[in-house]
């Protein structure tokens, strides 16, 4: 296996050919926040939190979606990058309705963790307070659009891992949102296998188990029992 040698924040690291800059950053034990990235899923560079400076490049590069190149020198913690990351997190909070005290993911939220990591304690941008919907039509799970940050983890895990392709992204600009099926209520999408993978990979409280209440969201190890319950409910509904 061929190996590439890179320099990350002054530290020389070696990664296998075909790796990304994010892999090189991790090899250097450097801290780099991410929200849209998840190992095993196709990178989309949606959250822009992993931007790095690449020597010789005229623009910042998303580490999760940029291929490592032999001899490249990158910086991850410049004042400009730290300011951009804080600004990005502030925009996430201003654009949606993230009321942590009443969220199922409070205390187990990746957006919350990243806000602490970048030193964000308030947003300098005006809150938009968008009027969005909650889809509770599924027998087990619910989708709160107020808390969605459009990381598309749910879209990719459903498509690439489960193979059901229940989720997609619709509309543009401020109207952009995650949709189920052909913009249907989630509970009416027959392709859904009730696996809960989308719920487990959601970095916020946008997708959650109906059994969870404030600060209770966590990856569930009892998915088989949940699946049995969902099948039983569907069976009785069809009788």
- Summarised one tens digit per residue, pLDDT across range 178-216 is 999 999 999 999 999 999 999 999 999 999 999 898 888
Q: What is the pLDDT of residue 220?
A: 60
Give pTM, 2 decimals: 0.88
Extract the tokens encoding 231: 């099948």
CATH, range 85-237: 3.30.70.20
For Cα atoms 212, 102, 133, give the angle at the middle one, nearest 5 degrees: 80
CATH architecture classification, 3-77: Roll (3.10)
Q: What is the pLDDT of residue 83?
A: 96
Smallest CA-to-CA distance from 143 within 233, 44, 210 is with: 210
Distance CA(215)–CA(27), nearest Å, equals: 33
Res. 218 pLDDT band, cuts 50 70 90:
confident
Would the CA dihedral through 111, 117, 118, 121 be positive or negative? positive
The domain limits of the chain are 3-77, 85-237
Mean pLDDT of the chain: 91
Q: Per residue in 91-129, pLDDT tens?
A: 999 999 999 999 999 999 999 999 999 999 899 999 999
Q: DSSP secondary structure string, 48-103?
A: -TTEEEETT-SS-EEGGGSB--TT-EEES--HHHHHHHHHHHHHHHHHTT--GGG-
Residue 21 burial (10 A CB sphere; 0-12, 13-18, 19+): buried
Distance CA(104)–CA(108), nearest Å, equals: 9
Q: How many CB atoms lie within 10 A of CB 150?
A: 18
């Amino acid at each position: 296996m061929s190996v590439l040698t890179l320099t990350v924040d002054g530290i020389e690291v070696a990664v296998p050919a075909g790796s990304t800059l994010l892999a090189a950053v991790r090899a250097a034990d450097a801290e780099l926040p991410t929200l849209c990235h998840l190992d095993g899923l196709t990178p989309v560079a949606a959250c822009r939190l992993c931007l790095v400076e690449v020597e010789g490049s005229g623009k910042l590069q998303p580490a999760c979606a940029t291929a490592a190149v032999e001899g490249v020198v990158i910086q991850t913690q410049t004042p400009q990058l730290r300011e951009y990351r804080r600004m990005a997190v502030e925009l996430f909070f201003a654009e949606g309705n993230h009321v942590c005290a009443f969220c199922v993911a409070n205390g187990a939220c990746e957006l919350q963790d990243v806000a602490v990591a970048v030193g964000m304690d308030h947003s300098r941008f005006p809150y938009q307070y968008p009027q969005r919907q909650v889809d509770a039509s599924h027998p087990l799970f619910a989708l709160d659009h107020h808390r969605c940050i459009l990381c598309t983890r749910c879209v990719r895990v459903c498509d690439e891992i489960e193979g059901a392709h229940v989720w997609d992204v619709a509309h543009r600009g401020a109207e952009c949102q995650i949709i189920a099926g052909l913009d249907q209520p989630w509970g009416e999408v027959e392709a859904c296998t009730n696996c809960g993978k989308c719920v487990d990979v959601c970095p916020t409280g946008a997708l959650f188990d109906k059994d969870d209440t404030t600060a209770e969201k966590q990856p569930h190890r009892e998915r088989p029992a949940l699946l049995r319950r969902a099948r039983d409910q569907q069976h009785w509904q069809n009788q």
